[in-house]
Every structure is written in structure tokens, then in C-alpha cells.
């Protein structure tokens, strides 16, 4: 596998890039120029960067939900990493949206939230993100 890939900007996939002489081509023999001539917006980047961009595109910001939505999601699939802390709890869907990005649900002080991020986030990281993106913002606005 090549270390470089063709990535459509803001896409959820990439195509392997193979060096053919001094030009990179995909498995169909198409160059970056050819891919973009079909109306695409491809760039030639590292595999690591493509995966990070895909993760970022799959992520969702923190959003407040109802207790009913939280409870419905809790019983929809077996929860992954269901954790509790002081005045908080969180769990994740076992099903990934893309790569290692999943839907995450949390309760903080009786309020309920959802977001999508890496499945490796700890309970503390989830609660910190909600605090920074929502709760502290609300405090500043008052």
C-alpha cells in the first residue's frame, strides 16, 4: 500500500495512489489531473492525513437532546463503555459511523447531550468537551 492517497476534499473515502514512473495513479490508471477533470476536488496527501480528515468530517458537534432521546439510544444497541461520574454518565454506540468515529451520548447535571467523535474518548474527555462547548459558553452568555 502506498503512503500517499487520492482524497476527495471533505469526502469519506480515499483511493490508493501508486507511483508509475514519476506520476501517481490510482488503481484504474487515473492521475490527479484526470480525477479532477471529472469534476472532483481530489488532493494527493498522506494516508494518515486522509484518515484524520475523514474522522473530522464524520464527527458532529455537541448537541443537547431530550431525556427520551437519550434513553431510546441507550436501549437501541448494547452500549459501549457506559461510564458514570459525579453528576454524569456517558456511553457510546458499538456501531461506528466511519473508521473509529461513533455516536456518543451523555448526561451532565440532568441535561442530555450527543456528539460524534473517536470511540477512544474517555468519560472524562466527553464531559470536558460538553462543558467547554456548551456549558461554559452558556455561562459566558448570561
Per-residue pLDDT of the chain (142 residues; tens, 9 = 90+): 559 999 999 788 899 999 999 999 999 999 999 999 988 899 999 999 999 999 888 999 999 999 999 999 999 989 999 999 889 999 999 999 998 999 999 999 999 999 999 999 999 999 999 999 988 777 776 6
> What are the distances in angstroms from CA 120 to CA 28, 59, 94, 98, 117?
35, 13, 12, 13, 8
User: Which of 112, 105, 114 is CA-nearest to residue 74?
Assistant: 105
Q: Is the pTM of this model over 0.85?
A: no
Here the cell at position 133 is 462547548
Give the whole-angstrom CA distance, residue 129 versus residue 95: 21
Amino acid at each position: 500500500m502506498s503512503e500517499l492517497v487520492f482524497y476527495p476534499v471533505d469526502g469519506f473515502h480515499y483511493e490508493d495512489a501508486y507511483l508509475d514512473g514519476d506520476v501517481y495513479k490510482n488503481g484504474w490508471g487515473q492521475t490527479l489531473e484526470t480525477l479532477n477533470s471529472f469534476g472532483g476536488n481530489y488532493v494527493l496527501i498522506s494516508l494518515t492525513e486522509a484518515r484524520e480528515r475523514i474522522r473530522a468530517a464524520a464527527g458532529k458537534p455537541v448537541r443537547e437532546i431530550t431525556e427520551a432521546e437519550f434513553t431510546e439510544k441507550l436501549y437501541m444497541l448494547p452500549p459501549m463503555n457506559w461510564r458514570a461520574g459525579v453528576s454524569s454518565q456517558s456511553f457510546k454506540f458499538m456501531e461506528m459511523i466511519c473508521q473509529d468515529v461513533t455516536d456518543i451520548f451523555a448526561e451532565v447535571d440532568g441535561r442530555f447531550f450527543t456528539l460524534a467523535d473517536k470511540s477512544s474518548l474517555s468519560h472524562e474527555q466527553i464531559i470536558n468537551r460538553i462543558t467547554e462547548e456548551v456549558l461554559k459558553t452558556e455561562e459566558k452568555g448570561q
